Amino acid sequence: MLEKRLPPIGSRPGTLAIPSDSPAPRIFLLDYSSEHLIENPVEDLEQLAPHVHTENTTWIDIRGMGDEPLLRRVAEMFGIHPVGLEDAANIPQRAKSEIYDAHQIVICRSPLVEDGTLAFPQVCMFIGRGYLMTFQDRSFGFFDPIRDRIRAGIGPIRASGPDYLAYALIDGLVDRYYPVVDGLSEQLDELEDLVLEDPTADHLVQLHRIRRDIAVLRRVGWPQRDTIVDMARSPSPFITEDVRVYLRDTNDHMGQVMGRVDFCREVAVGLMDIYLSSLSHRQNEIMKVLTLMASIFIPLTFIAGIYGMNFEYMPELQRRGAYFVVLSVMTGVAVFMVWLFRRRGWLGRRRRRG
Amino acid sequence: MLEKRLPPIGSRPGTLAIPSDSPAPRIFLLDYSSEHLIENPVEDLEQLAPHVHTENTTWIDIRGMGDEPLLRRVAEMFGIHPVGLEDAANIPQRAKSEIYDAHQIVICRSPLVEDGTLAFPQVCMFIGRGYLMTFQDRSFGFFDPIRDRIRAGIGPIRASGPDYLAYALIDGLVDRYYPVVDGLSEQLDELEDLVLEDPTADHLVQLHRIRRDIAVLRRVGWPQRDTIVDMARSPSPFITEDVRVYLRDTNDHMGQVMGRVDFCREVAVGLMDIYLSSLSHRQNEIMKVLTLMASIFIPLTFIAGIYGMNFEYMPELQRRGAYFVVLSVMTGVAVFMVWLFRRRGWLGRRRRRG
Amino acid sequence: MLEKRLPPIGSRPGTLAIPSDSPAPRIFLLDYSSEHLIENPVEDLEQLAPHVHTENTTWIDIRGMGDEPLLRRVAEMFGIHPVGLEDAANIPQRAKSEIYDAHQIVICRSPLVEDGTLAFPQVCMFIGRGYLMTFQDRSFGFFDPIRDRIRAGIGPIRASGPDYLAYALIDGLVDRYYPVVDGLSEQLDELEDLVLEDPTADHLVQLHRIRRDIAVLRRVGWPQRDTIVDMARSPSPFITEDVRVYLRDTNDHMGQVMGRVDFCREVAVGLMDIYLSSLSHRQNEIMKVLTLMASIFIPLTFIAGIYGMNFEYMPELQRRGAYFVVLSVMTGVAVFMVWLFRRRGWLGRRRRRG
Amino acid sequence: MLEKRLPPIGSRPGTLAIPSDSPAPRIFLLDYSSEHLIENPVEDLEQLAPHVHTENTTWIDIRGMGDEPLLRRVAEMFGIHPVGLEDAANIPQRAKSEIYDAHQIVICRSPLVEDGTLAFPQVCMFIGRGYLMTFQDRSFGFFDPIRDRIRAGIGPIRASGPDYLAYALIDGLVDRYYPVVDGLSEQLDELEDLVLEDPTADHLVQLHRIRRDIAVLRRVGWPQRDTIVDMARSPSPFITEDVRVYLRDTNDHMGQVMGRVDFCREVAVGLMDIYLSSLSHRQNEIMKVLTLMASIFIPLTFIAGIYGMNFEYMPELQRRGAYFVVLSVMTGVAVFMVWLFRRRGWLGRRRRRG
Amino acid sequence: MLEKRLPPIGSRPGTLAIPSDSPAPRIFLLDYSSEHLIENPVEDLEQLAPHVHTENTTWIDIRGMGDEPLLRRVAEMFGIHPVGLEDAANIPQRAKSEIYDAHQIVICRSPLVEDGTLAFPQVCMFIGRGYLMTFQDRSFGFFDPIRDRIRAGIGPIRASGPDYLAYALIDGLVDRYYPVVDGLSEQLDELEDLVLEDPTADHLVQLHRIRRDIAVLRRVGWPQRDTIVDMARSPSPFITEDVRVYLRDTNDHMGQVMGRVDFCREVAVGLMDIYLSSLSHRQNEIMKVLTLMASIFIPLTFIAGIYGMNFEYMPELQRRGAYFVVLSVMTGVAVFMVWLFRRRGWLGRRRRRG
């Protein structure tokens, strides 16, 4: 189950490796400026034609990959580079940002917890002149808050271009990292208490799962962070300086996320140490009990064994008080043993509930 | 409890995510030059108006975030960039320094031990032309010594601009790292002695707590250090070359702090090794006792068992001295065992108190 | 068997260190443009003469190294630098790309699983003006899909120069990393389940083998990745800007491969921890059983031993119900012990199948 | 005791944080050229006046910090920057080199073993025009060999300026690292033999001490190395190109020192592994003895127990040779057990003295 | 024995720290061009005079350091910088390459296995105009193959200058790393099989030795690699561009060597894990046997003990078949225990030979 989240690619140059179970694309158009807002699902590609090369901001949101000719036609209509289209269709890619002549491609991956497993669906954006085209494998609901903000006209989004829209989407995707990381952190906290209390094999399995999730987060998150740094730092003809200021803010968020992930990782390593130490400690406790019982009773049993021998001439056996003397000696040996163990600190101090 | 020090952010662009329990802002004004000093709490924002754009150095110290409209009005009055105001209000951020057209924003985090837990409150500064504006979640008392120095006119602070004031505040914040790091180092020293003496599960918990504190210090401290390096190295229109010389000094301090933190981390890792080794050693000791007892008495008990059998014809039983012969043999076996154990070095050398 | 995959080099400057068991070279010629395609095996080097310095793209594919004079003659015919020829013949080299006056040499290594062991055969390419010369130790079948594409004229390959051909070959070599890495990942997944179930020494051996394969992949893969980065980034007279765009794509693939390898490595380290912990846990379980048995029965045996003593005066022995009293006491002791162990959590909670 | 070597700083800008137990400064003047040599202790600061701004090389060597006004007056006399003076007085600093308008400040730390503990006293130098001023907390005897060489006029030192003098002092300070590192290396060698022979808790303590010393050396040494690299590489108005050639040599020495320290660290980590393995091995040995004794004698004792039962009808008991048959069976069981253990390799092969 | 390979330096500037046991220098002269070859040992330094400043390539090979005045005279004759001469005489240095006005100094270290220990003798070269001067502590036979090639006139060496000669020597020194690394790799392979079979303390010692050798190789090898990178990349007046192409090849070799060393290191770390796991596994096996024996026989012995009690009224004792009933019960208990252990997987599955 480890890498199944990452289906093998093996993409050959020039061909799209669309997963066979990918749903047919549904295309949503949103064309807006400060003054107007056109929103409708696209049934026929001809509907898109009037929105190519306009002054307004056009957002073409494509969900689903399961129709290669259609994807190629949309790409051609907006002048998307074939290599770029491959990046969009051949999922999953590592996050990246690259500038082509006609557009900038930005690939993002954002965490999504479905059925208790952590996935990182890919979102691909083409920031062009006057339009933003987004590709998703299927609809993950990542973009709904932004869409609502555009409809409501909250903030500067309606008055801004496709670069600000791309920023708003990326910022939303980055924000999705927070609850995931915080969830891991909380799981670690709970696990910590449990392990210190009483380490079981279940805790080990849980800890391993968390560590694997952290490893996945690091693998996916660092390229994501590099992508945003790159967008905020390197000049691009498709992103204005004003939007770059906002991207620096997103960059800080992503940096904070990765700082927390690294912190979780360090805590998880420490927890593993604690688990092992607790096991070792527990074993010591058990060993002590065993040693105590053996050390007290084995000598006593030996003494009893001596007087159980059937020799004809054993002078002690006839003595009247001998039995009680032997019982006293036995008690003495036991008391001495307990005293010895106490002195060594192996008895009487319950450390766990200290 | 791990990440609760860091409440989740999820800040959406364009809105301030002020914690709901944040107290209402209290604003303190300090306007000074070599010749004059005006100091008074601000009840009405109109009081601030005469201090915008003056030749003097104006310090607006805002404590508490619980009134968004008020914060926005102050920000507008001094031309603070909206993204900058978000950085100030949406705590905690990672330490950073960024230059805007009208001001330089510097975010610092300084350690504070409250109720035995380590927190890193955020301080946000805007170094503008003729003013320094500082934001804190609530009053932590970080700035009191500097305020006293301004009042008393000690050193060059009264004759200098807002950049020197910012330096003085940052230097004070960095100085607060020292006692925290030294405290961790002392705890490690104490723990070291205890663990070598007698490792208990409590020590493990303590060590884990220290390691987590060290991890937090590293996570918060490295961005803090990068921020100061950045301020000391990169030219800025808001920080004069003279103040930059002082910041290089602060930079050395912060570098020393982080060097110590890394040192503590290495010692803590070593201590974990010691803990595990001590547990292992302790277990060996216990095992030796068990093995000794078993090896001596189990053969003896067997011998006794032989002569406890009820066979009718057991020639030894009738012999008169046989009992004493058997006792002697038993003693011989015991002595041999002890000798064997001594020769192997498992007995007689108490290593722990060596 | 570890480094046997890498036969010692010790190449002396100016001499080719061809392995003695290397098969005689077989040379395959492919000369093509958009309009024509000539394909034939080369028996006599004179066949190659007309293809030097033509407008078409000529691919000379040499498989096998076992004829030094022949290699030297081919190299001379196309102006290959002697140091370059050494790189081609003295295998294995680390992946690299270097630009000479007359050609660019690119050394690649691609994974190949033969007889269950992982090898990394070397492929050496010389990208010259109008020709691409490839060297392989023997025929590994790496190039067959590309050859088929040229024959079929699929994609832009027939209309492109030797740089695009080199890209197509390299891209195919990189794609071969995916199944190997995914195979390792799957093995890790399986091993994970097995180790958590019941750790055996076999798992340890398997895990060690996987870790070694990961280490080999890292050793071979990182230079490979650097090579592709270098080709995609640094300008070269032998690679056009258009092909460089494609190489950036190959670069992303190789980066993704290495990201997965690093991920596998982290998982493998975690698995080692789990293995050790599981062993430790298992030992604790065994210890508990031993301690339980010993703690219950050793005291009981002692009690039985007491009343097996042969003292003449032992008042209890004559009492009629004494035997049953002793049996009851014994049962009481056993019940008490079990209760004690349960209370400590050492009994009754089977953790493994929880 | 860990960090007590590093008293807390908390230096406030503008004030000198001189330790209260610092001795009163003693000042030694050395004024020399190829032709002359003036050497005398300075009782009155007026003595220094004629040596400011001369053609000769003047070395003002100040030992002790316990008189702030005096330090300030000397600093003023030679134009030392206040921040620089703070660096000199507020010990310990990390090693660094910084260029001011009037001088270059170089802070060095050199190891000193006093009473068995490792300390790193700070030496601060101001390389000015025509003078070198050195500050030490007290007299450590670091400079005596150089002083002797000046007196004797050995080598080019008398004909060179203050930069060469600074180089000679720094070179001497670096040389002091060698015996310390070699000492640690020798301790590790000794410990290695002891741990392999018979691991005790004392070795653990020693190893931990060595690791801590290595950690301190790394913490202090790396900034020292960076300082010398900086001096050897970056041009400075206070250090001539000729002296820079010599500093490159010192740089190589310091690099070699740090290489050795890192090597020691790796060996120490390996030794920790060996310690743990040896403990584990030792435990296995003990366990084997226990298991052997128990496995041989527990079944035998059981057999003896059977025939010690008092059933009235036990047919074997009456048989005449039964006793000897049982003894033979017991011997047989014992021999079988020993054979079994030998076959498993748990007996008879003493591994330690192999 | 650890660092004795590296005698302490403590070289004071201006003096040569020649080891007291260094043999007297023997000087070998080789003067050649394409047309001529003069070769003779140098008894009198005057013999060297005619070879200074000629068009030919002169190789002055000095073996042994034990005559400081002689070394100084040779150095003066060829204009060697005093600091350079120190580098040559004060062994061992880290590998480095530095350019002086009159020559380039290159220090190399090459592995040599003598009496089973790994040493890294230093070779120092001065590449001047028309001459190459090499210094060795004593004759290690490193240069014999090159000398033979010059005599035989094989390859371009006779027609090339001192830079090519230096390259040939360095390439030969790098080649010497291969067998050493391969030897370590083979030792690791053998050890791996042995450890998985049956881990003993001897393996631990061997593994530690190998790890130490790897650590030494890394410490010596990385500077060596940096040196060759530096020579191949940075322009130098003493090394022609043609020779630089060859040095890039040597650089690839050294890179491959270090890649293998790092690989060995990773394998060695993995082997340590395996060793510890195997120990742990072995211990589990032993524990299981102990627990099995104890769990089966201790209850049985208890039952026997009960009926060995001497109570007067024990109804079972008189029953005629009671003895056999008890024997059956005992057999039943034993069978139940074995079944229980089998079900838990602690018995019957020999894992080691699986």
Answer whether residue E1 shows pLDDT above 70: no
Answer whether residue D195 shows pLDDT above 90: no
DSSP assignment letter at E98:
E
Nearest to A107 by CA among A122, A120, A90: A122
Q: ω into residue C92 within 30 of 0, thus cis?
A: yes
Say what the pLDDT of residue A144 is. Answer: 87
pLDDT tens digits, residue range A313-322? 888 888 888 8
- Residue E86 contacts residue E16 (beta carbons within 8 Å): yes
pLDDT tens digits, residue range A48-74? 888 887 888 999 999 988 888 888 899
Q: What CA–CA distance (Å, rounded) separates A191 from A204?
A: 9
Q: pLDDT higher for A212 or B201?
A: A212
- B269's CB contacts (< 8 A; 6+ apart) are none
What is the residue type of D251? N
Answer whether residue B13 shows pLDDT above 60: no
User: What secondary structure, in 3-state letters, does chain A show?
Assistant: CCCCCCCCCCCCCCCCCCCCCCCCCEEEEEEECCCCEEEEEECCHHHHHHHCCCCCEEEEEEECCCCHHHHHHHHHHHCCCHHHHHHHHCCCCCCEEEECCCEEEEEEECCEEECCEEECCEEEEEEECCEEEEEECCCCCCCHHHHHHHHHCCHHHHHCCHHHHHHHHHHHHHHCHHHHHHHHHHHHHHHHHHHHHCCCHHHHHHHHHHHHHHHHHHHHHHHHHHHHHHHHHCCECCECHHHHHHHHHHHHHHHHHHHHHHHHHHHHHHHHHHHHHHHHHHHHHHHHHHHHHHHHHHHHHHHHHHCCCCCCCCHHHHCCCHHHHHHHHHHHHHHHHHHHHHHCCCCCCCCCCC
Measured between beta carbons, the chain E residues lying within 8 angstroms of D156 are: 14
- CB-based contact E13 D196, cutoff 8 Å: no
Neighbours of chain C (3+ CB pairs under 8 A): A, E
For the ranges B90-94, B158-162, B279-283, E253-257, the lowest mean pLDDT is seen at: B90-94
Mutate to test the interface with D, among B263, B278, B300, B301 (most CBs of D within 10 A): B263
% of chain D surpassing 70 pLDDT: 94
Beta B57-63 vs B131-136: how paired, if at all?
A: parallel
Mutate to test the interface with E, among C293, C298, C316 (most CBs of E within 10 A): C293
How much is the average pLDDT of C73-93?
86
Please give the residue of chain B at the shortest CA–CA distance from A253: B93
pLDDT tens digits, residue range D136-186? 988 888 898 888 888 888 778 888 999 999 999 999 999 899 889 989 999
Say what the pLDDT of residue D224 is. Answer: 94
φ, ψ (nearest 5 deg) of residue D246: -65, -40
For the ranges A1-5, B233-237, D193-197, E212-216, the lowest mean pLDDT is seen at: A1-5
What is the residue type of C269? V
- CB-based contact D354 E272, cutoff 8 Å: no
Say what the pLDDT of residue B127 is. Answer: 95
Residues 186-215 on E with a CB inside 8 Å of D are 198, 200-202, 204-205, 208, 211-212, 215
CA distance A8 to chain C (A): 7
User: What secondary structure, in 3-state letters, does D276-290 show?
Assistant: HHHHHHHHHHHHHHH
CA distance E273 to chain C (A): 8
- Residue E21 contacts residue E91 (beta carbons within 8 Å): no
- CB-based contact E245 C318, cutoff 8 Å: no
Answer whether residue A113 shows pLDDT above 80: yes
Residues 269-288 on E with a CB inside 8 Å of D are 272, 275-276, 279-280, 282-283, 286-287
What the block records as the tokens of E347 is: 């018995």
Say what the pLDDT of residue B11 is. Answer: 43
Say what the pLDDT of residue B319 is. Answer: 85
- E194's CB contacts (< 8 A; 6+ apart) are E203
For the ranges E57-61, E78-82, E331-335, E342-346, the lowest mean pLDDT is seen at: E342-346
Query: What are the helix (H) ranges across chain D?
Result: 68-78, 82-89, 144-152, 162-175, 177-197, 201-233, 241-306, 315-318, 322-343
Of E2, E10, E94, the CB nearest to D267: E2
Q: b/e per residue, C242-258, with b = 16+ CB within 10 A?
A: ebbbbbbbbbbbbbbbb
Is the minimum CB–CB distance between A90 and chain C shorter than 8 Å?
no
pLDDT tens digits, residue range A118-171? 899 999 999 999 999 999 988 888 898 888 888 888 778 888 999 999 999 999
- Residue E249 contacts residue C13 (beta carbons within 8 Å): yes
Neighbours of chain A (3+ CB pairs under 8 A): B, C
Nearest to E167 by CA among E74, E222, E104: E104
Say what the pLDDT of residue C11 is. Answer: 43
For chain E, give the longest Cα–Cα distance: 121
Answer whether residue B168 shows pLDDT above 50: yes
- C343's CB contacts (< 8 A; 6+ apart) are none
> For residue E138, what pLDDT band results from cuts at 50, 70 and 90?
confident
For the ranges A305-319, C92-106, C340-354, E34-48, the lowest mean pLDDT is seen at: C340-354
Say what the pLDDT of residue C10 is. Answer: 39
How much is the average pLDDT of A226-245?
92
What the block records as the tokens of D342 is: 């030998």
Of E12, E301, E323, the CB nearest to D302: E301
> For residue D8, what pLDDT band results from cuts at 50, 70 and 90?
very low
Nearest to D31 by CA among D66, D72, D59, D10: D59
Average pLDDT for chain A: 86
DSSP assignment letter at E60:
E
Q: How many CA atoms lie within 13 A of E25 on its CB side?
A: 26
Say what the pLDDT of residue C349 is. Answer: 53
| CA distances for C110 relative to A13, C141, C157, angstroms | 18, 12, 22
How much is the average pLDDT of A89-114?
88
Of C259, C276, C301, the CB nearest to A94: C259
What is the residue type of C332? G
Q: What CA–CA distance (Å, rounded) separates A264 from A184?
A: 8
Q: Which residue has the tokens 């060590």?
A: B207
How much is the average pLDDT of B191-200?
84
Q: Is D29 helix (H, G, I), strand (E, B) or coil?
A: strand
How much is the average pLDDT of B236-250?
91
Q: What CA–CA distance (Å, rounded) separates B333 from B327?
A: 10
Answer whether residue A352 shows pLDDT above 70: no
> For residue C106, what pLDDT band results from cuts at 50, 70 and 90?
very high
Q: What CA–CA distance (Å, rounded) separates E11 from E23?
A: 19
- Residue B257 contacts residue A255 (beta carbons within 8 Å): no
CA distance B158 to chain D (A): 13
Q: What CA–CA distance (Å, rounded) separates E317 from E306?
A: 11
Q: How many CA atoms lie within 13 A of E82 on its CB side?
A: 13
Residues 210-249 on A with a CB inside 8 Å of B are 245-246, 248-249
Q: What CA–CA distance (Å, rounded) separates A139 from D57?
A: 79
Nearest to B43 by CA among B79, B22, B70: B70
User: What secondary structure, in 3-state letters, does B147-177 show?
Assistant: HHHHHHCCHHHCCCCHHHHHHHHHHHHHHCH
Q: What CA–CA distance (Å, rounded) separates C27 from C32?
A: 16
Q: What region does C14 belong to: left with phi over 0, alpha with psi -120 to 50, or beta?
A: left
Say what the pLDDT of residue A54 is. Answer: 80
Q: What CA–CA distance (Å, rounded) separates C64 from E255?
A: 26
Average pLDDT for chain B: 86
Q: Is B107 helix (H, G, I), strand (E, B) or coil?
A: strand
% of chain B surpassing 70 pLDDT: 94
| CA distances for E134 relative to C303, D265, E60, E125, E304, angstroms | 87, 34, 6, 4, 87
Average pLDDT for chain D: 86
Say what the pLDDT of residue E13 is. Answer: 57
Nearest to E312 by CA among D306, C314, A334, D63: C314
Mutate to test the interface with D, among B290, B302, B336 (most CBs of D within 10 A): B302
φ, ψ (nearest 5 deg) of residue C247: -65, -30
What the block records as the tokens of C179 is: 């199944």
CA distance E276 to chain D (A): 6
Answer whether residue D324 shows pLDDT above 60: yes
Measured between beta carbons, the chain B residues lying within 8 angstroms of A294 are: 290, 293-294
Write down how long chain B is. Answer: 354
What the block records as the tokens of C253 is: 């693939």
pTM of the predicted model as reported, rounded to 2 decimal places: 0.80
Say what the pLDDT of residue D109 is. Answer: 93
Say what the pLDDT of residue B222 is. Answer: 93
Beta B57-63 vs B122-127: how paired, if at all?
A: unpaired
Task: Determine the straight-line distance between the first and last CA of chain C, rounded to whole angstroms.
Answer: 42
pLDDT tens digits, residue range A159-202? 899 999 999 999 999 989 988 998 999 999 899 888 877 788 88
Say what the pLDDT of residue E348 is. Answer: 64
Say what the pLDDT of residue C15 is. Answer: 67
Q: What CA–CA distance (Å, rounded) separates C92 from C72?
A: 19
- Residue D62 contacts residue B218 (beta carbons within 8 Å): no
| CA distances for A197 relative to A183, A200, A269, B4, B205, angstroms | 21, 10, 18, 21, 11
Measured between beta carbons, the chain D residues lying within 8 angstroms of E286 are: 284, 287-288, 291, 346
Beta E37-42 vs E112-114: how paired, if at all?
A: unpaired
Answer whether residue C354 shows pLDDT above 80: no
Element (H, E) at C88: helix C82-89
- CB-based contact A255 B300, cutoff 8 Å: no
Neighbours of chain E (3+ CB pairs under 8 A): C, D
- E29's CB contacts (< 8 A; 6+ apart) are E38, E39, E40, E41, E42, E47, E48, E51, E58, E59, E60, E61
Strand ranges, E, within chain E: 26-32, 37-42, 57-63, 96-99, 103-109, 112-114, 117-119, 122-128, 131-136
Answer whether residue C246 shows pLDDT above 50: yes
Nearest to C184 by CA among C268, C69, C285: C268
Say what the pLDDT of residue D349 is. Answer: 53
Residues 152-171 on A with a CB inside 8 Å of B are 154-156, 167-168, 171
Answer whether residue E199 shows pLDDT above 60: yes
Nearest to A334 by CA among B275, C306, E241: C306
With 0-12 / 13-18 / 19 or more C-beta atoms within 10 angstroms meaning exposed / middle / buried, residue B350 is exposed
Say what the pLDDT of residue E14 is. Answer: 56
Q: pLDDT higher for C188 or D12?
A: C188
